């Protein structure tokens, strides 16, 4: 683990990749199944390029290096490799009804008191199970031009006391922009909480840099980061260190995971994930049942199995280490709990 690898070196499983900046990591990311399989030393027949036309493969080296090389069943690889199963029928293109709840361009409101901003259409990784893999970011991630109308809309509605930055991944914006956007939101008196939904620090831990900590530390509203770890193997020394830095900003850290067949659908895997998270003072917030999105139905886990896993967590872990098992049903007033 001591060697620091750069993008030009031959890949070595488990070594830490260190590129000059998170932007350099994005540039060096793997962009096809073929390239990914070659990198982790697996026969190219394990992937399929056909689904990539709609939803390209995008995997930073920092993430690929946490995979077990030569293992086609690796739980991290499975989350990001385009496979023939994606062509199976089933699922829809807007499984959670996002397009039905647009309040103004790029601003969604489904639930009381809180709005969600599509602050970026880009991510640091492409997760094959993503419920927004068909989302029309071109028309719904309006960029900086929308900031004025977002802030006006929020300022004019004092019922909104929480703003969620989502995407895509908000941390794909440069810190200068984030500082500006968060500053604007923070200046609205009734905005008491700002929440950032991100998978960025999970895949490229060096994203948590001094510039990020600066705006995070300045935020007067209560700041929450909702991270997205799905498997204990995603927590390596670099991510653990990034979580320590993130905590130092004073923000509260939560995690949401998606229950995925062949990735994390055993009690042992979920237990290890939750324990590793609370060890890092990250509270498991939600465990989501898969949104029925076209191209991802092979990840679906039957409710009975999900409930059994969840009951196991309740029996074996302290209450604060057990996430809520939920599913998103379009039109409901909250995420819907699945009673285990």
Ligand X SMILES: *Cc1c(COP(=O)(O)O)cnc(C)c1O
CB atoms within 10 A of CB 186: 17
- Decide: helix, strand or coil at residue 153: helix
Number of alpha carbons in the 13 Å side-chain half-sphere of residue 307: 7
What is the secondary structure of 22-46 as a DSSP string? HHHHHHT-B-SHHHHHHHTT--GGG
Residue with smaller CB distance to ligand X, 271 or 335: 335
In the complex, which residues of this chain contact ligand SF4 (CB under 6 A)? Answer: 123, 125-127, 130, 132, 167-169, 199
Q: How many residues does the chain have?
A: 340
191 is a site residue for ligand X (CB under 6 A): no
Tell me the C-alpha distance between 192 and 186, whole Å.
8
Residue 52 binds which one of ligand SF4, ligand X, none, with CB within 5 to 8 A depending on kind?
none
Residue with smaller CB distance to ligand X, 78 or 197: 197
Tell me the C-alpha distance between 119 and 106, whole Å.
7
| Beta carbon of residue 113, minimum distance to ligand SF4 (angstroms, whole number) | 23
Residue 132 binds which one of ligand SF4, ligand X, none, with CB within 5 to 8 A depending on kind?
ligand SF4
334 is a site residue for ligand X (CB under 6 A): yes
* Type and span of the H or E element at 151: helix 147-155
Residue 334 binds which one of ligand SF4, ligand X, none, with CB within 5 to 8 A depending on kind?
ligand X
| Beta carbon of residue 256, minimum distance to ligand X (angstroms, whole number) | 8
114 is a site residue for ligand X (CB under 6 A): yes
258 is a site residue for ligand X (CB under 6 A): no
Pick one of 39, 55, 69, 111: the residue that binds ligand X (CB under 6 A): 111
| Beta carbon of residue 24, minimum distance to ligand X (angstroms, whole number) | 32
Question: What single-letter DSSP state applies at residue 289?
Answer: P
């Amino acid at each position: 683990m001591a060697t620091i690898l750069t993008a030009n070196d031959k890949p070595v499983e488990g070594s830490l990749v260190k590129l000059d900046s998170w932007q350099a990591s994005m540039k060096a990311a793997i962009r096809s199944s073929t390239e990914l399989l070659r990198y982790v030393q697996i026969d190219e027949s394990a992937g399929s390029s056909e689904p990539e036309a709609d939803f390209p493969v995008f995997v930073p080296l920092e993430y690929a290096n946490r995979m077990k090389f030569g293992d086609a069943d690796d739980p991290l690889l499975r989350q990001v490799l385009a496979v023939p199963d994606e062509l199976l029928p089933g699922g829809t293109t807007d499984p959670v009804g996002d397009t039905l709840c647009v309040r103004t361009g790029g601003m969604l409101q489904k639930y009381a008191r809180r709005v969600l901003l599509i602050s970026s259409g880009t991510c640091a990784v492409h997760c094959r199970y993503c419920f927004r893999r068909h989302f029309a970011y071109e028309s719904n991630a309006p960029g900086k031009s929308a900031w004025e109308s977002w802030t006006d809309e929020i300022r004019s509605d004092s019922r909104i006391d929480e703003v969620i930055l989502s995407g895509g991944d908000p941390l794909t914006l440069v810190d200068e922009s984030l500082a500006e956007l968060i500053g604007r939101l923070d200046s609205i008196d009734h905005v008491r909480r700002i929440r950032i939904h991100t998978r960025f620090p999970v895949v490229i831990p060096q994203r948590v840099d001094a510039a990020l900590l600066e705006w995070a530390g300045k935020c007067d509203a209560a700041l929450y980061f909702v991270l997205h770890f799905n498997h204990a193997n995603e927590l390596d020394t670099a991510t653990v260190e990034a979580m320590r830095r993130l905590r130092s900003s004073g923000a509260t850290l939560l995690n949401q995971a998606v229950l995925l067949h062949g990735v994390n659908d055993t009690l042992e895997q979920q237990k290890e994930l939750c324990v590793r998270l609370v060890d890092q003072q990250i509270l498991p917030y939600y465990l989501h049942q898969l949104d029925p999105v076209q191209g991802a139905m092979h990840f679906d886990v039957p409710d009975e199995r999900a409930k059994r896993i969840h009951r196991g967590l309740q029996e074996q872990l302290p209450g604060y280490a057990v996430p809520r098992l939920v599913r998103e049903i379009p039109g409901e007033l909250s995420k819907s709990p699945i009673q285990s």
